[in-house]
Amino acid sequence: MTSSQFAAESLLRTYLSGRSMPRILRDAVVCVIEARLTNNETPTLDERLRMDIDNHAVAPSGQPIARAVQRRLGEMEVATHAGASAGNCS
C-alpha cells in the first residue's frame, strides 16, 4: 500500500465515522480520493463525493442511518481538499 493509498483510506474511514460501505464501492471511493490527493486537487471530499458516500454508507447496528446522515449534514466542509477528477485508477 502506497502512502497516498493509506492517506485516502484514512480520510475515508474518518469521514465514514464508524459507518461502512460495500467493498467495491469503498475501493472506488479510495481510488478517487487517492487520485485527488496525488494531483493536489481540491476539495478532496467535495459535496458530490460526500453525498455518494452517505448514500451508500451503512450505519453500525443500533444507529439508524438517518442519524449518521444528519450528523454529517451538520458538519462543515471537510478541511482536507483536492479536486473533482478521479485520475487513472486501476
What tens digit of pLDDT does each residue of 33-72 get?
A: 999 999 999 999 999 999 999 999 998 876 655 665 666 6
Q: What is the per-residue DSSP string for 1-60? A: --HHHHHHHHHHHHHHTT-B--HHHHHHHHHHHHHHHHTT-S-TT-HHHHHHHHHH-BPP
3-state secondary structure of 14: helix
Instruction: Give the Cα separation of 23 and 77 in Å (integer).
Output: 25
For position 20, what pLDDT does the model report? 93
Instruction: Give the Cα separation of 34 and 67 in Å (integer).
Output: 28
Model pTM? 0.68
Residue 19 identity? R
